Amino acid sequence: MKNTGEAGNRGPDVRSDCHAEIEMTSSGGIILEIKSKVKTLFGKSIEKLARDILNYFDIKNARLTIEDAGALELVIAARMEAAIKKAMKTEKEYLLPVIKENTTASNKDDFRFSRLYLPGNSPKLMINAGIHNPNGIIRNYP
């Protein structure tokens, strides 16, 4: 058994994104390699997230490489899931825990004066979307 999958972006001009590459193996356990410019600050949390996702998909033997350029947790999770789905057949979808602030609906009568549309394939634009204080943020996928 030797299936591989990869997803994401990498290179000198990439910011706030990551590249995940997974190779399924028949033995040897999980071999995890994290290459990140923010590893000293976030290496442990990236490793925990990666292991949680591998556990969720019941992957016991694999070689996983993550090249991180300051990606948010949701971006790392999405790239890993895409790589896993290229390497193996699964219908599972990994979802991060819901943020408490996102559990309440807005009032139907609230005015929505502004909407900020963001491309879903450019993680670097999502980081600062909230500073513009729009009434709604809409993520599009090209």
Question: Tens of pLDDT along 69-122?
Answer: 988 898 999 999 999 999 999 999 998 888 777 677 767 777 777 888 888 777
Q: Identify the pLDDT of residue 19.
A: 95
**Separation of alpha carbons 22 and 138, rounded Å:** 31
Phi and psi at residue 86, in whole multiples of 5°?
Answer: -80, -30
Identify the residue with better confidence: 130 or 46: 46
Q: What pLDDT score does 62 carry?
A: 95
**Tens digit of each residue's pLDDT (9 = 90 or more) over 1-11:** 459 999 998 88
Confidence of residue 141 (pLDDT cuts 50, 70, 90): low
Residue with the bigger pLDDT between 15 and 62: it is 62
Supply 34's token pair.
Answer: 């994290």
The reply to whether 52 falls in a domain is: yes
- Helix-then-strand count for the chain, H and E: 3, 6
Q: Which of 30, 90, 79, 24 is nearest to 57 (CA)?
A: 90
In-domain check, residue 57: yes
**Same domain as 56, residue 14:** yes
53: closest CA among 113, 4, 96? 96
Tell me if 102 is assigned to some domain: no
Please give the residue range of the domain that contains residue 133.
114-142
* Per-residue pLDDT tens digits for 109-137: 777 778 888 887 777 777 777 787 887 77
Query: What distance in Å separates the CA atoms of residue 79 and residue 36, rounded to the nearest whole number?
Result: 15
Distance of CA 116 to the CA centre of its chain: 21
Decide if 105 is inside a domain.
no
Q: Is residue 40 part of a domain?
A: yes
The CATH number for 16's domain is 3.30.230
Answer whether residue 58 is part of any domain: yes
pLDDT attached to residue 1: 42
pLDDT attached to residue 142: 59
96 assigned to some structural domain: no
